[in-house]
A and B are shown apart, each in its own frame.
Chain A
């Protein structure tokens, strides 16, 4: 079995403790301290019963004050807060997708951005009924980009991507009136509904939450993923490494953090440039190491094998190593704390997006038009900063694991083709996976997604859940910070097959895959929707019948709630380890955990006890199997 060993959360924490010592030396703040300052949290906020959507308030609901000033009861307030939360998440992913569409619109043969996967572009064009024959690929790209951008604000009709879902799912969406129309419209409608004096009926608010979520998952996020693949290449299996040990003390370390691959792809491009490497050497470094944090890291890891330094709650650790010349960020999940923290070191904190501007940062505005020169300027800036490093403060924990990533749906189908028998099977389908599931070799699949949250011991839930799932022959597909937790622990090393039950282990051996498959960033959860849709079509089952569930044990952001809503609305039961501020309303909580099942054949389970959370997922998977007699 070799000398393979997982890295434990205890080891993660010991490394963090050591880094925080450096932080204490230089007077740095940390999220650990800020959590203390914010605890205990306000109960009204935590249960969702505080409303401040108009200037008559703020109002809060108690037994003595059961209604706000406008007369809204607790269910209306909690429901509105939940819908606003969803709208925030949907807007965020969708705007990311929009940026990618704009980048596609600016792609050119001799430009910064090229079409790297023309076949995928043509495939999507066919899907959308766009003529490809005899058309220049860039003309097609621009036409498709424009069509995609119209998805954001078209006056009539619903999302084009919905057609990818099985007919049964489309019928449910139509029947329930939740098929998303224009992406931005669903966000706007949500904000309209939550205005004072509009909707206060929980059913209406939750229904719109599902619809706004679908506008994200089957709209904005799908645009982001699909056109990122067109621009930067569809991921295929690639080896990389994860955890802080990927940073190199002898090199210029550039960290890319955020979400939009348009920036990080360009930075990686220039960091590889011999001219830049020579430039780094002129300052005494041995080279340039780009590594990533959060979803932008997932994007470049999936496509380029760029190592992953860490996930959400590790972003400060990257600076605390004292070896980070520049942390370059775009949008989403970036701690504003990085500004003051970077001032304690030589680190340059470089913001690039007008969407995410922060104090104490250097703002280098980044657009598709000036991407090349700006990326080069940023890499140069990082190189020049190498000489300012305080060597006494440098400590990079010697901690990293190998990971094989890059499992797009296309790559998964290719892997599955590898276990077919040419005498009996057809290729290009998910049938081998369905056969593994129906025979019982694999019991089911869990999509592990989501963030870190200080309310849960960071990464502990992700890793422990995954370990138990794979030991029970349940294959895990992961994205976002959940995926990075797995990679840091070693669960994306193919050798971790030895931690699996006999069934999954055999599958890993025959298909040559790790038991936890990295499907990408958070917008790439749209890949998981496509996978679920394909499995349903290939098996003839409804999505809700598949022994598949979703899980976000350490979720934190509004985006995660939007994701949860579209996963549930797609017919996949979703398990949360953190309550989405709805416990204050029995009606809203009941709707989310039970009532929506009547509409979309799936619902949420909220369970803060991690052991119970994983057991309830395994039970649900077995229930689903029993229901279809497998």
Chain B
């Protein structure tokens, strides 16, 4: 199967799920039921960023799904694969927002789910100054828990903001990795759709700091491509849904590094197969052209600005 077919299949699958979820929600709550994420001025930030339209209730969400569907064209061109990937991301946002109906709190420790505007504003300045030199999005299940912990710590030591989606969260917890926004390791959620909460960060960064007009998708993607130094580490096995999400990430300019070797196509600087997970860090930084300015201080504990927010508790 070609890479584009995998993307298209993945976006079709996600569309199907989203359509079912929205219809079920309308049946349960009615089309006028309000939907929103907590603590954001940007409605559904991804959808708002891409289309310029705010979604307030389930009926509008259904309309928005129609817009997402219109992006899922199946021509054999990268633009179509990109747009299908973006549409997949939008569907993920729709699925996620449904979790918040009636002020529900769908995520609990250690997962964050949706991130408030305040956190983005806080992270935005160090991101722009290069104090946070990159954003790692780690997705799936590492070959071993040790691999997961080592990878996260390697980024953390470089000051890179790490977000986690899927089984990697449990793997890190198992290894006692200290997680939280304060130490720049943010577990988002166990479902793959939770990845949208980091995409939402990049898009809100463009809206807040980049002064990109909502709905100017071209300018949005240019900003994220040039200014948001994010990259994705996706562990094997990759299903079509993850591949479709990956297309969305690549559309925003974020390279995807994976250890998947089955039925995968390599794309220079964008979709890189690195079988050795211990080299994910070096491969990712080179792929995203992230240069770390670091002086190695030989001390018995980790040292990086990421640990500035750490809280020491009594045992």
Please determine whether A419 and B78 come into contact, CB atoms closer than 8 angstroms: no
A422-B286 contact given A435-B268, A629-B2, CB 8 Å threshold = yes
CA distance A503 to B251 in the complex (A): 10
- Give the chain A neighbours of B82 by CB distance below 8 A: 502
Q: Residue B35 at the A interface, CB < 8 A?
A: no
- Determine whether A24 belongs to the interface, using a CB cutoff of 8 Å to chain B: no
CB pair B273 A472 closer than 8 Å: no
B287 at the interface (CB under 8 A from A): yes
Q: Which residue of B lies closest to A471 (CB)?
A: B77
Given contacts A419-B269, A436-B268, A510-B268, contact A441 B286 (CB under 8 A): no
B267→A441 contact, CB < 8 A: yes
Chain A positions 415 through 455: 1 when the CB is less than 8 Å from some CB of chain B, otherwise 0: 01001111111000000100110111101000000000000
User: Which chain A positions have C-beta within 8 A of B271?
Assistant: 439
Chain A, residue nearest B287 (CB): A421
- Residues of chain A with a CB closer than 8 A to B81's CB: 440
| Chain A residues with CB under 8 A of B29 | none
Inter-subunit contact B268/A503 (CB<8 Å):
no
Given A419-B268, A432-B268, does the pair A502, B287 have CB atoms closer than 8 Å?
Answer: no
In angstroms, Cα B154 to Cα A157, docked, is 61
1/0 contact string of B182-218 vs chain A (CB within 8 Å): 0000000000000000000000000000000000000
- Measured CB to CB, the nearest residue on chain B to A507 is B268
Q: Which residue of A lies closest to B251 (CB)?
A: A502
Whose C-beta in chain B lies nearest to the C-beta of A435? B266
Residues of B within 8 A of A506 (CB): 78, 270
Chain B residues near A421 (CB-CB < 8 A): 268-269, 272, 274, 283, 286-287
**Chain A residue nearest to B76 in the complex (CB):** A440
Q: How does the 8 Å CB contact mask read for B261-287 relative to A, with 1 for contact and 0 for none?
A: 000011111111110000100110011
Chain A residues whose C-beta falls within 8 Å of the C-beta of B267 in the assembled complex:
435-436, 439, 441
- A424 near B273 (CB under 8 angstroms)? yes
Please give the distance in Å from B246's CB to the nearest CB on chain A.
Answer: 12
A339 within 8 A of B: no
Shortest Cβ distance from residue A470 to the other chain B in the assembled complex, whole angstroms = 12
Docked-complex contact A440 and B79, CB < 8 angstroms: no
Contact indicator A472/B266 (Cβ below 8 Å): no
Q: How far is the CA of A420 from the CA of B283 in the complex (A)?
A: 10
Complex CA distance for A424 and B270, rounded to whole angstroms: 13
- 1/0 contact trace for B65-97 toward A, CB 8 Å? 000000000001111011000000000000000
Say yes or no: A630 contacts B2, CB within 8 Å.
yes
Q: Is B3 an interface residue (CB 8 A)?
A: yes
Q: Is B4 located at the chain interface by the 8 A CB criterion?
A: yes
**A424 to B272, Cβ gap below 8 A?**
yes
Which residues from B are CB-within-8-Å of A440?
2-4, 76, 78, 81, 265
Q: A424-B272, A424-B273 are in contact. Are A435 and B265 (CB under 8 A)?
A: yes
> How far is A11 from B141 in the complex, measured between Cα atoms in Å?
59
> A residues engaging B (CB < 8 A)?
416, 419-425, 432, 435-436, 438-441, 443, 472-473, 501-503, 506, 510, 622, 629-630
Question: Can you list 12 A-B pairs, Cβ within 8 angstroms, ordered by A?
Answer: A421-B269, A423-B283, A436-B268, A440-B4, A440-B81, A441-B267, A443-B77, A501-B79, A502-B79, A510-B268, A629-B2, A630-B265
Residues of chain B touching chain A, judged by Cβ–Cβ distance below 8 Å, are 2-4, 76-79, 81-82, 251, 265-274, 279, 282-283, 286-287
User: Which 8 residue pairs spanning A and B have beta carbons closest together?
Assistant: A503-B78, A502-B79, A439-B265, A423-B283, A419-B268, A432-B268, A435-B266, A502-B78
